[in-house]
Structure 1
Amino acid sequence: MSKALTHAKIVPRRSNERGHADHGWLNTYHTFSFANYYDPRYQNFGSLRVLNEDRVDAQNGFPTHPHRDAEIFSYILSGELTHRDSMIKKGAEGKQGDDFFKMHRGDVQFTTGGTGIAHSEQNESDEEVHFLQIWALPWKRGLTPRYHTRTFSEEAKRQAFLPILSPLKAGPKATAEEEKAAEATLPETIPIHADLVMAEGIIGVDKRFRWTVGANAVQKTEGRNVYIHLPMTKKGAMKIRIDGRESAVLSEGDGAFVSDVNAGDVLSIESIGEAEAEVVVLDSD
C-alpha cells in the first residue's frame, strides 16, 4: 500500500458546485470560470485554466471561432467530434491528420493557439458526443499555431496511468527547428507549451493506480498542483478515493485540487465504486 502523503492538501470540487449551462444543443459543466460562469475562487490551478465537460447533440457543434495564446485540447469520452481549422488546405477535407480529424473515444486533438487560429468542432454524427475541453496557459505568448492529433490505447490505460501530454522537450527557449520537430519530454505523448503533464487511467473495481507527481518530465519540482477529474461516463457507478482519505472520495463529475506536493511524490487513487473508474490527471506547475 502506498504511503499517505500527509503533507498534501486535497480539496474536492463537487460536480454540483461547478458552473453549468444547458443550451439545448450543448450541456456543459465548467470547473473554472468560463464564458458566462464566473467565480473568483476558480480562475486557474497552476497553468490549468479551463476544464469543461461537454455533451453536444447530434448534428450540432461549435462554429468557427478564434483562439490565441492558449494550449487547447479535446479528449473524447464517447461519440464523434470533427475538427476543422483555418490552416487546412482546400481539398484536404477528410484527411486524418494534423489538419482534419474525426475524433472518437480515446482521441486527443491539441491546438497551440499562439499568434491566432480559427477552428470549428462539430458533431456531424447521429449520436451525442461527450468530451472534455481543457485549456492551459502557455509558458510564453506569440507561439506559432500548431495542431496535433493522437489516439491513446484503452488497454494501456487499464494497466497504469498513461501519459497523454507532456512539456515540449526543448522548453520555452525552443528554436524554430525544435518547435517544428515537436518532440515531447515523454515518448509517445503530445507536446504542450506548459510545465504540465496529462494522463488517464481506467482503474478496475477494487484496484489501485499510483501517480508519480511530475512524471519525471517537469521543470518545477516543488509546490506542484495536481487536478484529478472523474468524468460522468458510467451513470454514477464510478467512485474513487485519493490518498486513502475518506474526505477525498470522489463521485462522477467530481474533481479534486491536490496541492503542496512535489515531483516524485506518489499519489494513490483507488477505484471503490461499482464500475471501473476513468480518471484524468492534470499535473501542473
Structure 2
Amino acid sequence: MSKALTHAKIVPRRSNDRGHADHGWLNSYHTFSFADYYDPRFQNFGSLRVLNEDRVAGGTGFPTHPHRDAEIFSYILSGELTHRDSMIKKGAEGVEGDDFFRMKRGDVQFTTGGRGIAHSEQNESKKEVHFLQIWALPWARGLTPRYHTKTFNEEAKRSAFLPILSPLKGGRSATAEQEKAAEAVLPDTIPVHADLVMAAGIIPVDKRFKWTVGGNAVTKTTDRKVYIHVPMTKGGSSKIRLDGRENAVLSEGDGAFVSGVNAGDVLSFESVGEAEAEVVVLDSD
C-alpha cells in the first residue's frame, strides 16, 4: 500500500455543493463557475477551468456555437453524442480520427478553440447521453483550431489509470511542424496545449489504483494541482477513499482538490463502495 502523502492538501467538493441547472432537455452540474452559476471560490484549479457533468435528453442538444482560446474535451459516459463543426462539410464526416462525429461510451472528443471555431453537439438518439464537458486554459492564445477524437479501451481502465490527454510535444515552444503532427508526450493520448494530464480508471470493488502525480509527462514538477472526479454512473453505489483518509471518501458526483503535491508523488485510490468506481484524474500545473 502507498504511503500517505502527508504534505498533500485534499479538499472534497461535494456533489450537492456544485452549481446545478435543470433545463429539461439538459441537466447539468458545474464544479466551477459556468454560465449562470458563479462562485468566486471556484473559478479554476491550475489550468482546469470547467468541469460539467451533463445529461442531454434524446433528440436535443447544443446548437452551433463558437469557441475560442480554450481546450475543450468531452468524455462520454453513456449514450451517443453527435459532433458537427465548421471545419468539416456536412455529409463528409468520418467514422474515426479528426473528422469523427458520433461518439459513444469510451470516446473522448477534443477541441482546440484557438482563434475561433464553431460546432454543435446533438443527441440524435432517443436515449439520454451522459458525459463530462471539461475545459482547460491553453498556454497560448490564437492557436490554430483543431479536433481530435479517440476511443479508449474499457478493460484497460479496469487495470490501472489510463492516460487520455497529455501535453503536445514541444510544449509552449512547439514548432509549426509539431503542431501539425499533433503528437502528445505520452503515446496513444490526445495532445493538449496545457501542462496537464488527464487519466481515467474503473476501480473494482475493494481494489486500489495509484496515480503518479505529473504522469511522467509534465514540465512543472512542483506544486501540482490534481482534481479528482467520480462521475454519477452507478446509481450512487460507487465510492472511493483518497490517500487512505476517512475525510477524503468520495461518493458519486463528488470531487476533490489535491494541492501541494509534486511530480512523482503517488496518490492512492481505494474503491470502498458496492460497485466499481469510475474515476477521472485531471493533473494540472
Q: CA deviation at 1:211?
A: 0.1
CA contact (8 A) 1:10 1:248 kept: yes
Give the match for residue 88 of structure 1: 88
Give the match for residue 116 of structure 1: 116
AA aligned opposite 1:238 = S
Q: 1:101 and 2:111 equivalent?
A: no
Q: What aligned pairs does 1:256-267 form with structure 2 within 5 A after superposition?
A: 256-267=256-267
AA aligned opposite 1:275 = A
CA contact (8 A) 2:96 2:150 kept: no
Q: CA deviation at 1:94?
A: 5.2
CA contact (8 A) 1:67 1:113 kept: yes
Q: What aligned pairs does 1:60-99 form with structure 2 within 5 A after superposition?
A: 60-93=60-93, 95-99=95-99
Structure 2 CA distance for aligned equivalents of residues 15 and 91 of structure 1: 40
Give the match for residue 211 of structure 2: 211
CA contact (8 A) 2:93 2:101 kept: no
Structure 2 CA distance for aligned equivalents of residues 179 and 94 of structure 1: 22
What TM-score comes out, normalization by structure 1 length? 0.99
CA contact (8 A) 1:184 1:192 kept: yes
Q: CA deviation at 1:99?
A: 2.4
* Aligned-pair identity (%): 85
RMSD over aligned Cα atoms: 0.8
Q: What aligned pairs does 1:1-285 form with structure 2 within 5 A after superposition?
A: 1-93=1-93, 95-285=95-285
Q: How many residues align?
A: 285
Flag structure 2 segments of 5+ consecutive residues without an equivalent: none
CA contact (8 A) 1:88 1:100 kept: no
Deviations 1:90-117 (A, max 9, x none): 5404543312410000100000000000
CA contact (8 A) 1:82 1:100 kept: no
Q: CA deviation at 1:83?
A: 0.4
Flag structure 1 segments of 5+ consecutive residues without an equivalent: none
CA contact (8 A) 1:85 1:100 kept: no
Find runs of 4+ consecutive structure 1 residues off by over 2 angstroms: 93-97
What TM-score comes out, normalization by structure 2 length? 0.99
AA aligned opposite 1:205 = V
Structure 1 CA distance for aligned equivalents of residues 236 and 168 of structure 2: 36
